[in-house]
Amino acid sequence: MRLFQRRRPRKPKIYIVPSKNGFLFLGVNIVVLISAGTYSNNLVFMLAFLMFAIFITSMVHTHNNLRGVRVEIVDIRDTASSQPVQVLARITNTSRVVRQRIEVNISAFKKTSGASLCKEYVHPSQSVAGQFEMPNPGRGVHVLDRLTFSTVYPLGLFYAWAYEYPEHPFYVYPKPEGIQRMQRAIPYRNQSSQFYENKGDLRGDEFNEHKSYLPGESFRHVDWKVYARKRLLLKKTFEGDEPVIYSFRYQDTHAKDHEVRLQQLAKWIETAHKSGHHYELVLPANRMLADGGIYHYQKCLRELARIERAA
């Protein structure tokens, strides 16, 4: 079966075609050559052959400018569905000659604003890294299976390009958006993170301090007297308060649309992460146990990205 599998070349195959300026230059060259034949003018003949020599030389240099160049993906950041995808790539020059004006894109001919990485100089046996944006394909788990790197150096008369096949996965999670407040709070019972449903008052006996209120949190502990005087939303904390975690359940979202419900879950996760709370995520087919920190935050958002779209 291996004989029938698609094999990709170890070295990228380089393709080259005249650019728009190249076709214009060639057209002028043909007009000059016809004029030279019409008027039997040797100087015009020399000009025509000189232009053709420049055309051919430019083709050779443009093709050679991609030889020994390799491109790889360093990282593709997890992105919300409302933002462009950030791609970090590295260009490596394995040859002994400086390569100039190397451009990296996801497509050979479809150019979009800000969607390419261009490096003017890549020195021999060196690598340069940079970042570019690509259009957002929508929520889900995707694979960037092909990259294009190209050049028009030195005169812009030819466009040469080659492909790399990184097979790099990336995640697009729902846009964090919603108006529901976080209501389901569960206090820690002990350090082993066992928890139970909180149906009583979480406050201790003595006032401790004020903390800033974060959008999405319950208004239960907001100090309304301070708000009346200073127009500041502050929440009260008390001595003896138990640390709480939040339980974000798909079934607790009120929207009818599947994607809107996922957006609300993403909003809750983002709010809890920014406020330093621990939280769990309960989905119809999976459950992420309560935890905190950047790793748990990323893990939960990726789980939202994996959920299949509604039929």
In a domain, 211, yes or no: no
In a domain, 232, yes or no: no
Token pair in block for residue 204: 């201790």
Quick one: which of 276, 248, 275 has its CA closest to 262? 248
Q: Is the pLDDT of residue 200 over 50?
A: no
Percentage, residues of the chain above pLDDT 90: 44
pLDDT tens for 276-294 read 888 899 888 888 888 888 9
Q: What is the pLDDT of residue 114?
A: 52
Q: What is the pLDDT of residue 208?
A: 58
In a domain, 11, yes or no: yes
Q: Are residues 140 and 190 in the same domain?
A: no
Q: Are residues 122 and 248 in the same domain?
A: no
In the chain, what is the straight-line distance between the N-terminal and C-terminal CA atoms, in Å? Answer: 35
| Cβ–Cβ under 8 Å, residues 44 and 36 | yes
DSSP state of 175: P
In a domain, 288, yes or no: yes
Quickly tell me which residue has 């076709």 as its tokens: 23
Q: Are residues 103 and 190 in the same domain?
A: no
Q: Which of 9-18, 196-205, 219-228, 274-283 shows the lowest per-residue confidence on average (mean pLDDT)?
A: 196-205
Q: Is the pLDDT of residue 194 over 60?
A: no
Q: Are residues 84 and 165 in the same domain?
A: yes
Q: Are residues 257 and 162 in the same domain?
A: no
What mean pLDDT comes out for the span 227-238? 67
Q: What is the pLDDT of residue 254?
A: 86
pLDDT tens for 108-154 read 555 554 567 888 889 998 999 988 888 888 899 999 888 899 999 99
In a domain, 233, yes or no: no
Q: Are residues 123 and 192 in the same domain?
A: no
Length in residues, the chain: 311
For residue 297, the enclosing domain spans 185-202+242-306
Q: Find the CATH number of the domain harbouring 53.
A: 2.60.40.10
Q: Are residues 111 and 145 in the same domain?
A: yes
Residue 100, burial from CB neighbour count under 10 angstroms (0-12, 13-18, 19+): middle
Q: Are residues 131 and 196 in the same domain?
A: no
Q: What is the pLDDT of residue 253?
A: 87
Instruction: Report d(CA 231, CA 233) in Å as an integer.
Output: 7
pLDDT tens for 169-181 read 999 999 999 888 8
pLDDT tier, 213 (very low <50, low <70, confident <90, very high otherwise): low
Q: Are residues 143 and 120 in the same domain?
A: yes
Q: Are residues 265 and 155 in the same domain?
A: no
Q: What is the pLDDT of residue 267?
A: 92
pLDDT tier, 214 (very low <50, low <70, confident <90, very high otherwise): low
Counting the structural domains of the chain, the total is 2
In a domain, 231, yes or no: no
Q: What is the pLDDT of residue 190?
A: 40
Q: Are residues 21 and 154 in the same domain?
A: yes
Instruction: Report d(CA 50, CA 225) in Å as an integer.
Output: 86
pLDDT tier, 210 (very low <50, low <70, confident <90, very high otherwise): low
DSSP state of 4: G
In a domain, 252, yes or no: yes
8 against 104, higher pLDDT: 104
Q: What is the pLDDT of residue 67?
A: 94
Q: Are residues 84 and 198 in the same domain?
A: no
In a domain, 197, yes or no: yes
What mean pLDDT comes out for the span 98-104? 93
Quickly tell me which residue has 């995808």 as its tokens: 85
